[in-house]
Chain A
Amino acid sequence: MYIILNITNSLRFFLLSLILAFNQFPEQDASDIVKKADEKMRGKTSQAELVIITSRANWSRKMDVKTWIKGTDYSMILIQSPIKDKGTVFLKRGKEVWNWIPTLERSIKLPPSMMSQSWMGTDFTNDDLVKESSVVNDYIHTLLSDTLIANKPCFKVQMIPKPETAVVWGKIIVCIDKKDYLELHTKFFDEDGSLINIMNAYDIKEMDGRLIPTRIEMIPIDKKNQKTEIIYKKILFDKLIDDNFFTLSKMKKLN
């Protein structure tokens, strides 16, 4: 019995070696590509000033926000305009999210169900903004092919969520620039395989010593003339932010 098992295992190993040898893009490489692209935009920490423009056929609204992000566990978003929402803060620590409303002078804990829903009426979800789910750890990556995006050679990577992770999407196809590891084009699919959103990145500039796309647009597929753009005005990477910054008392004092 032991021998039969051993043969079977050897055969499996042999077959696996063959597959790996003939596959030009081993899985490990796909994960590395995604990891490099993720690290490029995320850093160990980031502090950014953004403009978010939500557009529809007949109107558009602009919002100025500041963000502080540390890893996947800590993030803080401060709204600076429009004036009626100025001073509103979202704090995320692990799985918990609090919302500070300056008019009421109180924080309200938000239900976890809000993470997958639209943030402040934009086409981005809360999860997109605070990056709770990790594109590196929560997905299985497969390199599909090479492609060209805005004349730049890119890797095309498929990401399928791992069974145990609760993420919003059923599948993501991401195109990452081969030279600078920039995520230039992404397609988001739901669990039924229907295309829901397309994300495009433009205006590649150097900010804080890194080459990054400074304008990112999210376009919902089933809604005409609708999109949300995020424009980076400023971003600082890897500046030390103490864990103690991400607290309820700090969120009251941001301005």
Chain B
Amino acid sequence: MKRSSFIIKLILFFNCLLIRSNTYAQIRDSINHKNSSLQIRGYLKDLQTYTFSKNYNEFIAGNLIHNRLNFRYVPSSKWASGLEIRNRIFWGEEIKLTPDFSSALKNQNELLNMSATWINAPELVFHTNIDRLWLQYTNKNFEARLGRQRINWGISTIWNPNDIFNTYNFLDFDYEERPGRDALKVSQQFTSLSNFELVASASKVSKENVYAAKYFFNRKNYDFQFIGGFFNEKITLGTGWSGSIVNTGFKGEIQYFAPDKDNKDQINFTIEADYLFHKSWYVNGGFLWNSEGYDQPVENLDNTSLRFSPKHLMPTKWNTALTVSKSFTPLFSGSLTTIFAPGTNLLIILPDLTYNIFTNFDIDLISQSFYIEQQSTFTGITHRIFLRGKWSF
């Protein structure tokens, strides 16, 4: 543990030097262009968060500076490696008021601890995590990747029941890359559009290891996949498809989890359709059924577990989502997503606006509003507004 922490410190020290140097861009360009085997990319984001009470009469502010550094080293056509580091500095009232804020930043799925908390004060937390660190070998149509990586088996766009290796909160829009998993993945391509993947992923608790295989193929303009394996030591089976009906995209995923001594068997099923209309109006409608989700109004929210997991993409049983997005100009776009869960009558409204101010600089204004039925009354719970600036390099 101490050793990994030392390595992180060393890497970060090197990064700090790079960032502080005003010749950083030149160094990066010379590495990226003159010797394409090593590439460095990343971004720096500043996120201001305002969390309002249900009537907007009180608010708590939070701040986050978020830096990501992605390294790729590809010395030959057979070997490649990746290292991605996530540095975050939080401060403001929000972390003061959240008990044990820094421990919530850890990804519980990781086998090896490759994170460090440099500063853990009540008003400021500086946290670093290596969320990708892998080595890859490719030989013709065979590929093996070992290390911390993202295994993304999702095929649809809103909810992904087939994404059984990763847990993430879909409201966490600021983490586009999603957490990684410590795993070995081997894949073999058979034809242009068919392949087989085998993955063994390890967790700190061996009971939470996931082993699974996926066969992917394309037939009659449809992608199909079949998944089988063990999730938390119990059998899991799944399938997904992606195709179209006339000009409308049509996708879906189903995943079954066998029962264990604490849980009944469980099915997650999603289906969705999308269409791009004239003048860049895009509409996506989806439905998710979680057989073990809540389907009655929840009377005491504080006692309700809302931990997201591959088994619980939503805490609620019946879920519908509708997204409408539009590019007003090539630089300015917006979208509105509405999620409604009948039964619990949970409603989440997620509008956002994005503006590209300079080539590599974007500004986002995002809002999240939550409403639910409680004691037979439909009421607001909380509203969050985010303002984010992002510089990509």
- Which A positions have Cβ atoms within 8 angstroms of B? 54, 56, 59, 61-62, 82-84, 86, 93-96, 103-106, 108-114, 117-118, 120-122, 243-244, 246-249, 253, 255
* B393 close to chain A: CB less than 8 A: yes
A94 touches B221 (CB 8 A): yes
A248 touches B249 (CB 8 A): no
CB < 8 Å neighbour of B393 from A83, A117, A118, A122: A83
B360 touches A82 (CB 8 A): yes
The residue of chain B having its C-beta at the shortest distance from the C-beta of A62 within the complex is B359
- List 4 additional contacts besides A56-B329, A104-B176, A249-B195; criterion CB under 8 Å: A84-B390, A93-B192, A112-B248, A247-B192
Chain A, interface SS category: mixed
* B36 close to chain A: CB less than 8 A: yes
Residues of B within 8 A of A93 (CB): 192-193
Residues of A within 8 A of B141 (CB): 249
B247 touches A112 (CB 8 A): yes
* B110 close to chain A: CB less than 8 A: no
- Which residues in window 51-90 of B have CB below 8 A to A? 74
Given known A54-B330, A244-B192, contact A106–B392 (CB-CB < 8 A): no
A109 touches B243 (CB 8 A): yes
* B255 close to chain A: CB less than 8 A: no
B392 touches A83 (CB 8 A): yes
B193 touches A248 (CB 8 A): yes
Bound Cα distance from A206 to B157, whole angstroms = 44
Given known A54-B330, A104-B177, A105-B152, contact A83–B248 (CB-CB < 8 A): no
A112 touches B157 (CB 8 A): no
- Which residues in window 227-268 of B have CB below 8 A to A? 242-244, 246-249, 251
Stretch at the interface among B8-16, B93-101, B269-277, B336-344: B269-277
Bound Cα distance from A62 to B360, whole angstroms = 11
Of residues A61, A109, A112, A120, which shows the largest number of chain B Cβ atoms within 10 Å of its Cβ? A109
Bound Cα distance from A222 to B178, whole angstroms = 42
The residue of chain B having its C-beta at the shortest distance from the C-beta of A245 within the complex is B192
In this complex, how many residues of chain B approach chain A with their Cβ under 8 Å: the count is: 49
B359 touches A61 (CB 8 A): yes
B275 touches A105 (CB 8 A): no
A108 touches B157 (CB 8 A): yes
Residues of A within 8 A of B143 (CB): 249
A112 touches B330 (CB 8 A): no
CB < 8 Å neighbour of A84 from B39, B43, B248, B278: B43
B193 touches A106 (CB 8 A): no
* B41 close to chain A: CB less than 8 A: yes
* B106 close to chain A: CB less than 8 A: no
* B327 close to chain A: CB less than 8 A: yes
A59 touches B331 (CB 8 A): yes
CB < 8 Å neighbour of A104 from B178, B189, B243: B178
Residues of B within 8 A of A82 (CB): 359-360, 392
12 A–B contact pairs at CB < 8 A? Answer: A61-B330, A62-B359, A82-B392, A83-B41, A86-B41, A93-B193, A104-B150, A111-B275, A113-B275, A247-B192, A248-B195, A249-B143
The residue of chain A having its C-beta at the shortest distance from the C-beta of B68 within the complex is A103
* B154 close to chain A: CB less than 8 A: yes
The residue of chain B having its C-beta at the shortest distance from the C-beta of A95 within the complex is B221
A109 touches B242 (CB 8 A): yes
Interface membership of chain B positions 83-122, coded 1 if the CB is closer than 8 angstroms to chain A and 0 otherwise? 0000000000000000000000000000000000000000
Of residues B189, B192, B223, B278, which shows the largest number of chain A Cβ atoms within 10 Å of its Cβ? B192
B192 touches A114 (CB 8 A): no
Bound Cα distance from A221 to B320, whole angstroms = 40
| Ranked 4 nearest A-B pairs via Cβ | A121-B330, A111-B249, A84-B392, A113-B247
Bound Cα distance from A61 to B276, whole angstroms = 23
**Within the complex, what minimum Cβ distance (angstroms) separates B249 from chain A?**
3
B244 touches A112 (CB 8 A): yes
* B280 close to chain A: CB less than 8 A: yes
Residues of A within 8 A of B330 (CB): 54, 56, 61, 118, 120-122
